[in-house]
Structure 1
Amino acid sequence: MLRYLLFALLLLHGAFHLAGFFAPVAGRVMAIDRAPGIYWAACSALFGLTALLLILHEKHWTWVALLAALTSQVLIASAWEQARFGTVPNIVIVLVVLALLFVKEAPVMFRD
Structure 2
Amino acid sequence: MKILFFVILFFHGVIHFLGFAKAFNLKEIKELTLPISQFNGVIWLIAGILFLTSGLLFTFNNNYWWLPAVIGIIISQFLIFTFWKDAKFGSIPNIIVLLVAMVGYANFSFQNMVGLEVKKLLSDIKLDNQIVDPNMISNLPVAVQSWLNYSGIVGKPFIHSVSLNQKVQMKMKSDQTEWYDAEATQYFNVNSSSFIWSVKMEMMTLFQVVGRDKLINGKGEMLIKLLGLLSLVDTKDNSKLNM
Per the shorter chain, which TM-score range?
0.7 to 0.9
Which whole-Å CA distance do the structure 1 matches of 2:78 and 2:40 have between them? 12
Match 2:84 to one of 56, 80, 83: 80
Aligned partner letter, 2:82: S
Which whole-Å CA distance do the structure 2 matches of 1:49 and 1:35 have between them? 21
Aligned partner letter, 1:100: G
The unaligned stretches of length 5 or more in structure 2 are 24-31, 111-199, 209-243
Partner of 2:163: none
Cα deviation, residue 60, structure 1: 0.6
Q: Using CA pairs under 8 Å that are at least 6 residues apart, name the structure with larger relative contact order, 1 or 2.
A: 1
Q: How does 1:51-66 map to 2 (within 5 A)?
A: 51-66=55-70
Partner of 1:100: 104
Aligned partner letter, 2:91: T
SS, match of residue 102 in structure 1 = helix
How large is the Cα RMSD of the aligned pairs? 2.2
Which whole-Å CA distance do the structure 1 matches of 2:201 and 2:62 have between them? 13
Change (3 A) 1:55 1:27: closer
Change (3 A) 1:14 1:101: same
Cα deviation, residue 106, structure 1: 7.0
Cα deviation, residue 23, structure 1: 2.8
Which whole-Å CA distance do the structure 1 matches of 2:79 and 2:51 have between them? 13
Which whole-Å CA distance do the structure 2 matches of 1:61 and 1:68 have between them? 11
Partner of 1:21: 20
Aligned partner letter, 2:205: M
Which whole-Å CA distance do the structure 2 matches of 1:101 and 1:85 have between them? 25
Cα deviation, residue 90, structure 1: 0.2
Partner of 1:109: 205
The unaligned stretches of length 5 or more in structure 1 are none
Higher gyration radius (CA): 2
Which whole-Å CA distance do the structure 1 matches of 2:104 and 2:45 have between them? 27
Which whole-Å CA distance do the structure 2 matches of 1:27 and 1:90 have between them? 21
Aligned partner letter, 2:5: L
Question: Which protein is richer in strand relative to its size?
Answer: 2
Residues 47 and 65 of structure 1 are in contact (CA less than 8 Å); yes or no, is this contact kept in structure 2? yes
Residues 100 and 106 of structure 1 are in contact (CA less than 8 Å); yes or no, is this contact kept in structure 2? no
Aligned partner letter, 1:9: I
Cα deviation, residue 71, structure 1: 1.2
Cα offsets for 1:44-95 (capped at 9, x unmatched)? 0001100111111111101221111111111111111110000000001101
The TM-score with structure 2 as length reference comes to: 0.40
The TM-score with structure 1 as length reference comes to: 0.82
Percent sequence identity over aligned pairs: 27
Which whole-Å CA distance do the structure 2 matches of 1:106 and 1:63 have between them? 23
Partner of 1:8: 7
Change (3 A) 1:3 1:27: closer
Aligned residues, how many? 107
Question: Which protein is richer in helix relative to its size?
Answer: 1
Match 2:95 to one of 91, 94, 100: 91
SS, match of residue 59 in structure 1 = coil
